[in-house]
Amino acid sequence: MMLASNIKRNSWIHQVRENPNARIRLFCFPYSGATASIYFPWQEILTPTIEICPVQYPGHGNRIGEPLCHRIEALVDQAVQAFQGSLDKPYMIFGHSLGALFSFELLRAFREKGFPLPKMLFVSGHGAPHLPDPNPPIHQLPDRQFIQTLRDLNGMTSEFFENQELMEMLIPVLRADFEICDFYRYHDQAPFDFPISAYGGLLDPYVHKQDLEAWKNHTQANFTVRMFPGDHFYLNSSRIHLLQMVARDIHNYL
């Protein structure tokens, strides 16, 4: 039997606005180096039938004093028990980039433990996990090259690169997150029984439409690909369009 919701006491969920009348709980997993705050604006835009639950990784944001994870297995192990008491109502998951990969592996662990599974998984900005990663490892690059790679990714604000103190604080976080991706190894398992929607940016130089289409291999249910204007971080530049599609896809399955 599932315990009563402890979502307010779940350190992985940051600044959730509890809504007992919501029909669905949407857990939102950030990309590398990001904090739960990237999803705070979603709470103002999505309908009140959706309870937005921004996820905070260890060592990020308000959890900055906790040890960082360097392997996806460690991240999953920590999250499994933390989320058990927060799965007491119908839920879905949205994960971008690292968040897509992590949520995929977390749901495999949920299935193995017999936890309730989501009504739907949204994977964004990451190719299907069984595909080989075409990008070279970057987590061990010298600082100058690592910072230039961050500039090329176009996911950090100019204020980040102009603030030496902020960079010194966040570069270890970014390196740890990229290390998780660099060392990820896929292991074959049965596909899920819930629908998957794969989202991406039309101008993303790292993740192409065919990479997103390959997520179809991981579900026996409905599968959709949606492309949006923008690059790898289209979820920021095309936020309104994205959330319109998220809301549409959610309500199609309620």
Task: Break the chain into its structural domains and give their ranges.
Answer: 7-133+187-252
SS (H, E, C) the chain: CCCCCCHHHCCCECCCCCCCCCCEEEEEECCCCCCHHHHCCHHHHCCCCEEEEEECCCCCHHHCCCCCCCCHHHHHHHHHHHHHCCCCCCEEEEEECHHHHHHHHHHHHHHHHCCCCCCEEEEECCCCCCCCCCCCCCCCCCHHHHHHHHHHHCCCCHHHHHCHHHHHHHHHHHHHHHHHHHCCCCCCCCCECCCEEEEEECCCCCCCHHHHHHHHHHECCCEEEEEECCCCCHHHHCHHHHHHHHHHHHHHCC
- The residue annotated as part of the active site, out of 32, 97, 103, 238, is 97
pLDDT in tens, 108-127: 999 999 999 999 999 999 99
Distance (Å) of CA 70 to CA 75, 173, 179: 8, 10, 6
Examine the pLDDT at 194 and tell me if it is beyond 80.
Answer: yes
For the chain, give the number of residues: 254
| Token output for 202 | 């039309």
| Token output for 21 | 């009348």
pLDDT for the residue numbered 238: 95
d(CA 97, CA 78): 20
pLDDT for the residue numbered 4: 39
pLDDT for the residue numbered 64: 93
C-alpha count within 13 angstroms, C-beta hemisphere, residue 190: 8
- Placement of tokens 């990008």 in the chain: 135
- Reported as a pLDDT band with limits 50, 70 and 90, residue 197 is very high
Examine the pLDDT at 1 and tell me if it is beyond 70.
Answer: no
- Per the annotation, the verdict on 97 as an active-site residue is yes
Span 133-138, average pLDDT: 83
- The reported pTM is 0.93
d(CA 243, CA 235): 9
Quick check: 60 and 173 in contact, CB under 8 A? yes
Return the CATH number of the domain spanning residue range 7-133+187-252: 3.40.50.1820
pLDDT in tens, 29-63: 999 999 999 999 999 998 889 999 999 999 999 99
